[in-house]
Structure 1
Amino acid sequence: MDEPDVPPPYGLSDLPSLSSLRRDSSLTAPTDTDRTGCLLVKRRTYLKLLGSVGSSAAIAGCETRAGTENPTVSTPKKSTLTPEPALRLTVLNAVEDLGMDPTGHEPIDEVLDETYDDHTAIEFPPGEYLVTREHDWDRGVENFRLVGLGKSHKDVQFVFPRNDPGEQFRMFRITSGSYHVLKNFSLQQTDDRTTSADIWLANTDGALIEDVEWLGRTPSDNDARNQLLLFDCTSVDGVNVARRVYMREGAELTGYPNGVAGIRITERSVGEVKMIDCHIEQRGSSSFRATHTQGVLRVEGGLFKNNDNTNMRISGGDHPSKSSWIKDATVIVDDNDLNEHARDGDRLHSPAGLLIDSTGNGYSGVLIEDCDFIYKSSPSARAIISTSPPTWGGHGSFTLRNCRIQNDTSVQTIHADTVDTDTTEKPWGATLDNVSITGQCTEQPYDSAVVIGKNRNGSKIVDSCIHLPRGYVGGVLVEGAEGCSIENSTINVSGAPTQTRDADLSLQNVSYTGTCAFKDQ
C-alpha cells in the first residue's frame, strides 16, 4: 500500500508555523498572534517564570499590544454582553522549544510529562525520540496534540529500550479528557521477540489517532499486552476517530489465545468509535475487537489481511440511538501469501473472517455493507462470516448487504449460529441482501455454504447469488427457525440448493442455473 500524503496537522492548519513565532523573554511585547489576536505561547519563553507565577498565570490574558494590562474588546455600544475569551493553543517544537533529543539517545519522558496540559500541541521534527516508561495521564486534559512534522508518518518515530521478557510496555495510558490528537508518527517496536509498545486512549469526545503506524514485529502476549491500541469513547454523545492506523509488519503467530490483537474497544466505551481506512495485517489475534462495548464501532474502508483468530470481531452494541457497522472494508486470507515481514515457520492457525459476537451481552443488530471477503488458502477456521455460539453469549440479528464472498477453501462460508432466546435481544434473524458467494471450494463443514441456525426466525436471503459448482457443496441450510425466506435469488451449486431441519422456509423466484452477476446498487 502506498504511503498516504499527510495533510497539515489536524486542527493546526490555520495557525502560524513555529518558525514564524519570535521568542520574547520579557513577555511584555508579543508580536506574533493567531487569527483571533491571541498570542501563540511557546513553552521555553515561559519556563523561567514558572517558579514565581506558575504556568497558568504566565499565559493568562490576551494582550493586544505592549503594556496593555487590561485590554478591551470593541463591541456594539448598546451591548452589555461580555465576549468569551478566545481559546489559546500553546504550540511547541519538541526540539527547539523543549530540548528533546531527536537522535533517540536521551529519554524524553520527563519533558513529555511536564508538557502534557490543556490546549497544548507538541510538534516533533523528523527524528527518533526515546521513550523509556509508561506515561499514565489521568488529568482531565482537554485539547492536547502530539503531531509529527514529517512528510511521511515514518519520519517521526518513537523508539523504546529493549523490553525484558515478560515486560508489557505501555507508552500512553490516557484515561480521561477530550480532544486528544495523536498524528503522523510511528512506534518502532523493533524486530526482537520481546519489545512492544501499546497505547490506551479513552476520551469523552473528539479523540483522533491519524496516520500512526506500529513498526516492527509484535511479540506474543507473554511480552506484550492483549492489543496495541485500546481506544474508548467514554460519553454517550462522543465520537472518537482512528483514521489510517497501520499495523502491518507482522507478529508472533502463536495461535489462540496467546496472540496480540490490533485495536480493542472495551466495555468502558459508551459512545461512538470510528475506524477509517485502517490497514491491519498478520496480527497474532483479531485485527480489531468490539464485543463488550455498550457503545458502537463504525468501520469505514480498510484492509484486514491474514490476521489470526479473527480478522474482524464486532457486536451491534447497546447505544441508545446508534448501531455498529462495517462498510467498504476488505478481508483477505491467504496462508500462502504472508507478507515480506513473515519469518520461517510463521503460519496461520484459525483465521476467521468476521465474527459477530457480543460476548454474553445479548446485543443485536449490526450492518455489514459493501464489503469483500476473499479466502484463497486457509487452515481450518470457524467460518468466513459467523456469529458466536450461544455458549459464548451469542448475538442477535445482523445484515449483510451488497457484499461479495469468494471462497476457494474448505472453510465454512456463512454460519449464523443458534440464538439463545433467553439472553439475546430481538430481532434474531440473519439478512443477506444482494450478496454474492462464489469460489472454487469443493466442500463445506455443514455441507451448505449458508447455515441459518436455531431460533433465527425471520431470516431472509434477497436478490443474492450462490455459485459453487465444484465438488459437493450445498446452498442454504435452515435449522429450527420459523418464517425464513429466499427471494429473487440464484442458487447454482453442486449439492442440494436448499435443506431444512425442523424449519419453515419459503422460496419465491429462485433460480438454480446461471452465474453470479453482482448488482452494485
Structure 2
Amino acid sequence: MAGNWTRRELLARLGAAGGLGALAGCPGDGETESPTETETASPTDPQRSPDSTDGGETPTASASTTTPQPPTASDYDRVVDVVEAGADPNGRETVLPVLNDIDPNDTLVEFPPGEYFIDGQWRLHEFQNFAVRGPEATITTVPNFTGPLFGFGGTGDASNLAVEGFTFDFRQRDTGPRPLYGRVRDGLYVGDVTVRGEFDIDQDGMRFDVTAPGGTGVVRNLRMPDGGHPRYPNTGCYVGETHRGHLRFEECRIDGFPDNGLYASPAVGRVDVLGGEYRNSGVSNVRVSGPATVRGVTVRCNEARAGVPNMRGIRLREGSDILVDNCRVVMDRVTESDGAITCAEWLESATVRNTHVTVRADGVRALWAKAPRSPLSGNRQYPLQVRNLTVDGSAATDAAVMVAERPGTLLETLCICQSGAARDGVHLLDSGQSTLSGANITVTGTPLVTTRSPLSRQNIRLRSVSPDGILHLSQCGCG
C-alpha cells in the first residue's frame, strides 16, 4: 500500500501557516468596515487539554513543515471513472447505484466534467485510503432531502479521506442537504469544494471530525457564499465533539448562516483557522475553543437580516491556548451583537494580537471579555492578553473594549479611535492587577474606566473630544 503511506506521511506533517506582518498605527474610518447573549446548545464537552504555555505570555501555535496537496492517481491502487462505470454525467438519472457498487479501499473515484444527480446518501462507514475528485463536476439533488449527500466515515474504521473539487448546486427551491460529512481517524483532506445556492431546508452544512488524538486534517478553499435562509437555524460548517486531532481551515469563505458560520467550539482537538473570509452569520462567524489559532482571518458584518441573531465576529468560547493573530474584523451593520471579538464566560485564557477592528454599528464592542464562570487557573501570568490592537470606526455608546472580572489582564499597545457619541474607550470591571501599557485612546466619552480595578499604567495617552473634534485629528495621534 505505497499510496496509502504516501498520503499518511503527507497529512501527518500538516501545521499552521506563518504569521502575517503586524498592524501599525490607527487607520482612519474610511477603509473597506445593549448586546444580548444568544447561545446555541452544544454537547457536553470532555475535559480539554490544559494550557500549554507553562506560564508564558503567548499561546503556542503549531509550525508548518509541508503544504498539503490534492490526491493523485499514484496514491491509490485503483482509479474508477464513474462515467465509464455507468453514471449519467448529464444530471438526468441518479448516479447513486453506480457509487454504491464501488469498493472504496485504496480507491480514487473520478467524476469527469458534467452534472451528477444524487437522490440519496452515498454512505461509506469504513475504508482505508479513499478519495473522490471532480474539479469540474456539479452535484444536484432532490428537494427536501437532508443528506448527507457524501457521507464518509463515522462510527466505523475509516482513515485517509480526500475530497477534491465539486460544486454542490442547491439553487433549486427547498434544497440544502448536508453536502459532505467527513469523520475519520486520520488523514482528512478537503479542497476546492463550493456550494451554490442558499440552504433553505432545516439542515446544517458541512461537518468534519478527525477522531484520533494524533490525527491531522485540512479543509482548504471551502466556499459557501450564499448562506442559509433565516427561517432555519442552520450552521455553515461544524467541527463536532468527536474531533480529537488537529484540523486546519485554510482560505475558506462562509457567509450568511443564521446559526454560526464556522462552528468549531465543541471540538476537543485543535482547530486552526488560517486566512479566508467569513461574513454576516448569526451567533458567530468564526467560533472556536482552545486549543485553537485564528490567524489572518477577515470577518465582515454588513447585512442585518431578520432572523440572524447576535452577529459576533470571532467568538472564543471556552478552554485555553487560543491565539487570535493578524485578523481584520469589520462591524458595519448588525441585527444585534455581543461584539466583534468576544471571550465567553467559559474561556480561561487567550491572546489577541496584531488585529484591526472597525466598528460602525452603535453599541457594539470591539472586544468584550465576559466574566468567567469558574476561577482562572493561574497557569499564565496574564490569562487574557491583548497586544497591538487597533480599534476605529464611528460606533456610538458603550465601550470599545470591555473586560469583566478578569484580574491580571494585559492590554499592551492599543490604538483606539471611536468617533460616535458617548463612546468610551477601555472599561475594566472588577479586573484588578491588570496592566495597560503603550495605549493611545481617543473617544467622545471616557477614555479609561476602572471600576474596582486597580491598574498599572505605563505610557498611555487618553483624550476625550467631541465627535467633530475626532474627525479633525490625524489618525487620532497614533503612530
Q: Normalising by the residue count of structure 2, what TM-score does the alignment of the two structures yield?
A: 0.78
Other-structure match for 1:90: 78
After superposition, the C-alpha distances for 1:337-367 in whole angstroms (9 at most, x for unaligned) are: xxxxxxxx76744311121113xxxx12310
- Give the Cα separation in 2 of the matches to 1:264 and 1:423: 28
Letter matched to residue 300 of structure 2: I
For residue 364 of structure 1, the aligned residue among 303, 320, 330 is: 320
Other-structure match for 2:143: 162
Letter matched to residue 439 of structure 1: G
- Give the Cα separation in 1 of the matches to 2:207 and 2:106: 23
- Shift in CA distance, 398/108, structure 1 to aligned 2, threshold 3 Å: same
Q: Trace 1:61-100 onto structure 2 (pairs within 5 A).
A: 88-96=76-84, 98-100=85-87
- Give the Cα separation in 1 of the matches to 2:258 and 2:419: 34
Other-structure match for 1:70: none
Please state whether the residue corresponding to 1:357 is helix, strand or coil.
strand
Measured after TM superposition, the shift of residue 310 of structure 1 is: 1.3
Measured after TM superposition, the shift of residue 195 of structure 1 is: 4.3
Q: Does structure 2 conserve the Cα–Cα contact (< 8 Å) formed by 1:470 and 1:494?
A: yes
Structure 1: any 5+ residue segments left out of the alignment? 1-7, 16-33, 35-86, 151-155, 317-322, 337-344
Letter matched to residue 334 of structure 2: S
The answer to whether 1:432 aligns with 2:386 is yes
Other-structure match for 1:202: 183
After superposition, the C-alpha distances for 1:74-107 in whole angstroms (9 at most, x for unaligned) are: xxxxxxxxxxxxx7520121112x1111011111
Measured after TM superposition, the shift of residue 303 of structure 1 is: 0.4
- Shift in CA distance, 487/192, structure 1 to aligned 2, threshold 3 Å: same
- Shift in CA distance, 103/193, structure 1 to aligned 2, threshold 3 Å: same
For residue 333 of structure 1, the aligned residue among 301, 312, 335 is: 301
After superposition, the C-alpha distances for 1:157-188 in whole angstroms (9 at most, x for unaligned) are: 1111122xxx5222133214112111111112
Measured after TM superposition, the shift of residue 261 of structure 1 is: 0.8
Structure 2: any 5+ residue segments left out of the alignment? 1-67, 464-473
Other-structure match for 1:11: 71
- Shift in CA distance, 364/381, structure 1 to aligned 2, threshold 3 Å: same
Q: Does structure 1 conserve the Cα–Cα contact (< 8 Å) formed by 2:252 and 2:276?
A: yes
The answer to whether 1:453 aligns with 2:453 is no
Other-structure match for 2:55: none
Other-structure match for 2:369: 416
Q: Does structure 1 conserve the Cα–Cα contact (< 8 Å) formed by 2:180 and 2:207?
A: yes
Q: Does structure 1 conserve the Cα–Cα contact (< 8 Å) formed by 2:253 and 2:278?
A: yes
- Give the Cα separation in 2 of the matches to 1:352 and 1:305: 10
Q: Trace 1:289-438 onto structure 2 (pairs within 5 A).
A: 289-316=263-290, 323-335=291-303, 348-358=308-318, 363-389=319-345, 394-410=346-362, 411-422=364-375, 426-427=379-380, 429-438=383-392
Q: Trace 1:259-298 onto structure 2 (pairs within 5 A).
A: 259-298=233-272
Measured after TM superposition, the shift of residue 333 of structure 1 is: 0.6
Letter matched to residue 281 of structure 2: N
Other-structure match for 1:488: 438
- Give the Cα separation in 1 of the matches to 2:241 and 2:338: 25
- Give the Cα separation in 2 of the matches to 1:144 and 1:244: 20
For residue 429 of structure 2, the aligned residue among 464, 470, 479 is: 479
- Give the Cα separation in 2 of the matches to 1:516 and 1:435: 14
Letter matched to residue 146 of structure 1: V
- Give the Cα separation in 2 of the matches to 1:510 and 1:373: 24
- Give the Cα separation in 2 of the matches to 1:275 and 1:168: 24
For residue 148 of structure 1, the aligned residue among 134, 157, 180 is: 134
Letter matched to residue 417 of structure 1: K
Please state whether the residue corresponding to 1:205 is helix, strand or coil.
coil
Q: Does structure 1 conserve the Cα–Cα contact (< 8 Å) formed by 2:180 and 2:206?
A: yes
Please state whether the residue corresponding to 1:308 is helix, strand or coil.
coil
Please state whether the residue corresponding to 1:403 is helix, strand or coil.
strand
- Give the Cα separation in 2 of the matches to 1:426 and 1:420: 17
- Give the Cα separation in 2 of the matches to 1:424 and 1:133: 49
Measured after TM superposition, the shift of residue 118 of structure 1 is: 1.3
Q: Does structure 2 conserve the Cα–Cα contact (< 8 Å) formed by 1:197 and 1:224?
A: no
Q: Trace 1:164-203 onto structure 2 (pairs within 5 A).
A: 167-173=145-151, 174-175=153-154, 176-203=157-184
- Give the Cα separation in 2 of the matches to 1:192 and 1:450: 43
Q: Does structure 2 conserve the Cα–Cα contact (< 8 Å) formed by 1:436 and 1:516?
A: no
- Give the Cα separation in 1 of the matches to 2:478 and 2:79: 51
Please state whether the residue corresponding to 1:377 is helix, strand or coil.
coil
Q: Does structure 2 conserve the Cα–Cα contact (< 8 Å) formed by 1:116 and 1:144?
A: no
- Shift in CA distance, 516/134, structure 1 to aligned 2, threshold 3 Å: farther
- Shift in CA distance, 421/346, structure 1 to aligned 2, threshold 3 Å: closer
Number of residue-to-residue matches in the alignment: 398
Letter matched to residue 130 of structure 1: F
Measured after TM superposition, the shift of residue 421 of structure 1 is: 2.4
Please state whether the residue corresponding to 2:132 is helix, strand or coil.
strand
- Give the Cα separation in 2 of the matches to 1:423 and 1:498: 24
Larger relative contact order (C-alpha < 8 A, sep ≥ 6)?
A: 2
- Give the Cα separation in 2 of the matches to 1:274 and 1:384: 22
- Give the Cα separation in 1 of the matches to 2:478 and 2:124: 50
Letter matched to residue 90 of structure 1: R
Letter matched to residue 314 of structure 1: V
- Give the Cα separation in 2 of the matches to 1:504 and 1:185: 56
Please state whether the residue corresponding to 1:112 is helix, strand or coil.
helix
Q: Does structure 2 conserve the Cα–Cα contact (< 8 Å) formed by 1:481 and 1:504?
A: yes
